[in-house]
């Protein structure tokens, strides 16, 4: 991957508020939430980063402030380079970010997914609804406090809920999630070395 060597100086001249962000691959910047639209428009129109590769977010957990960071990945189809942009949400309880769906139509669904998973509201979005979970789903599943197994709730259809009498229940983890923790010797780190004597029927011993 080629790198865009002139980009960091060009961006920092144009936007003094944009700080370089540690990155192992492409150029990356931290931008205040208020400047995001201007920087993205500058990158698209002046620097030829015409393609929005990805739009996602990071939850740094409830103990951290700022808690939520929105991340944009752009690609230039003429320079064949990438650039990454990150902006912290000002509020931890009601995270919000201006929408970029006016710059790239493709941002529409990315922002809906980010809203669905993290609960970040994109102000000015034309149709900010959930996209993966159903509309009445009460949680934001990719937030740090949300367990992988899920939390009990109702399914989307009231008739069906009344008929079958079961809703969403936490998935049985039975010793999972089955990932090896880094740093340990493999014999201790791998899932089978951990206690899996408990499951959804017998409680985990304290």
Partner 1 sequence: MVAWVDFFTHMVTASQEVTYNSKIEGDVTVTRLDSAINWLRTNSMWPMPMGLACCAIELMATASSRFDIARFGAEVMRFSPRQSDCMIVAGTVTYKMAPVVRRIYDQMAAPKWVIAMGACASSGGMYRSYATLQGVDRIVPVDVYISGCPPRPEALLDALMKLQTKVRREPALKKQFSAA
Residues that bind partner 1 (CB under 8 A): 132-134, 139, 141, 146-151, 155-157, 159-161, 163-164, 166, 168-174, 176-177
- Closest distance between partner 1 and the C-beta of residue 164, in Å? 5
30 and 18 Cβ atoms separated by less than 8 Å: yes
Rounded to a whole number of angstroms, the minimum distance from the CB of residue 163 to partner 1 is 7
3-state helix, strand, coil in the chain (%, to 5): 25, 20, 60
Residue at token pair 């990150």: 86
For residues 105 and 158, which CB has a smaller minimum distance to partner 1 in the complex? 158
CA dihedral 106, 98, 54, 90 (to 10 degrees): -160
Which one, 42 or 146, has the nearer CB to partner 1?
Answer: 146
**Of residues 53 and 173, the one with the C-beta less far from partner 1:** 173
Cβ(132)–Cβ(116) under 8 Å? yes
Q: CB–CB of 33/88 below 8 Å? A: yes
Q: What are the C-alpha distances in Å from 2 to residues 78, 96, 117, 135, 188?
A: 12, 34, 33, 42, 41
Q: How far is the CB of 116 from partner 1 (least distance, A)?
A: 11
Task: Tell me the three state secondary structure of residue 53.
Answer: strand
Taking the C-alpha atoms of residue 189 and residue 185, their distance in angstroms, rounded to an integer, is 6
Checking DSSP bridges between strand 68-75 and strand 51-59, what pairing results, if any? antiparallel
Q: Which residue's CB is nearer to partner 1, number 22 or number 165?
A: 165
Least distance CB 8 / partner 1 (angstroms): 40
152 vs 185, which CB is nearer to partner 1?
152
With respect to partner 1, which residue has the nearer C-beta, 56 or 161?
161
């Amino acid at each position: 991957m080629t790198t865009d060597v002139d980009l960091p100086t060009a961006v920092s001249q144009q936007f003094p508020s944009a700080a370089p962000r540690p990155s192992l691959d492409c150029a990356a910047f931290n931008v205040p939430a208020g400047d995001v639209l201007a920087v993205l428009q500058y990158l698209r129109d002046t620097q030829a980063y015409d393609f929005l590769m990805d739009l996602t977010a990071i939850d740094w957990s409830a103990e951290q402030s700022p808690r939520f960071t929105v991340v944009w990945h752009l690609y230039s189809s003429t320079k064949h380079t990438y650039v990454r942009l990150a902006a912290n949400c000002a509020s931890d309880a009601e995270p919000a970010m201006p929408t970029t769906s006016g710059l790239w139509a493709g941002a529409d669904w990315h922002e809906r997914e980010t809203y669905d998973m993290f609960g970040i509201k994109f102000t000015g979005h034309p149709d900010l609804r959930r996209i993966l979970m159903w509309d009445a789903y009460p949680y934001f599943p990719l937030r740090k406090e949300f367990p992988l197994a899920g939390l009990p709730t109702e399914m989307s259809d009231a008739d069906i809920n009344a008929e079958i009498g079961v809703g969403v229940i936490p998935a049985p983890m039975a010793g999972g999630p089955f990932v090896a923790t880094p740093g340990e010797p493999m014999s201790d780190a791998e899932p089978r070395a951990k206690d899996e004597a408990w499951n959804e029927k017998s409680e985990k011993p304290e």
